[in-house]
Amino acid sequence: MKKLDKIDIKILNMLIEDARKPYMEIAEACGLSRAAIHQRIQRLIASGIIGGSCTNINYKVLGFSTYTYIGIVLERGSMYDSVVKELEKIPEVVECNYTTGHYSMLIKLYAKNNDHLMHILNGKIQGIDGVVSTETLISLKQSINRPYLLQESMLEK
């Protein structure tokens, strides 16, 4: 893949803000044709820079009012992959990271309420082979949730 230029950065930022933004609107903002934007986006997809698009869901509106981070300590770090396979079976778990520091992994999940969370913790997560302990951090309020916009200063010189 060739280096990104200012137009690539502008295209990426527009897609970060709204993945469904029409190519024509991006073309007008960039001063290019719709076909040129389409070709650039296809190149960004082929290079692996764009890996897909997503829709942001407001889970609270759907009744999931408890947003939680859970630090998990594993018996051995080598058990990470097998624990991930078990966590993938729990639909409320939406993110899993292998981490440094006190926890072997950090997961994020949505629960309907504290009772639902307790059921997930006690009935599912803590029963996974290799999980030694967990620490639960409930998010009381999310104040910042924004995409990481790219800056032209990130371009290689």
SS3 sequence, the chain? CCCCCHHHHHHHHHHHHCCCCCHHHHHHHHCCCHHHHHHHHHHHHHCCCCCCCCCCCCCCCCCCCEEEEEEEEECCHHHHHHHHHHHCCCCCEEEEEECCCCCCEEEEEEECCHHHHHHHHHHCHHHCCCEEEEEEEEECCCCCCCCCCCCHHHCCC
Sign for the pseudo-dihedral over CA of 64, 69, 75, 76: positive
130-142 tens-digit pLDDT: 999 999 999 999 8
26-71 tens-digit pLDDT: 999 999 999 999 999 999 999 999 998 888 888 999 999 999 999 9
pLDDT on residue 157: 58
8-37 tens-digit pLDDT: 999 999 999 899 999 999 999 999 999 999
Q: What percent of the chain has pLDDT over 70?
A: 96
Q: In this structure, what token pair is assigned to residue 102?
A: 């006190």
pLDDT on residue 2: 64
- Model-level pTM? 0.79
Residues 6+ apart with CB under 8 A from 75: 130, 131, 132
pLDDT band at 143 (very low <50, low <70, confident <90, very high): very high
pLDDT on residue 156: 65
pLDDT on residue 52: 83
Residues 6+ apart with CB under 8 A from 49: 1, 4, 12
Q: In this structure, what token pair is assigned to residue 17?
A: 């803000």
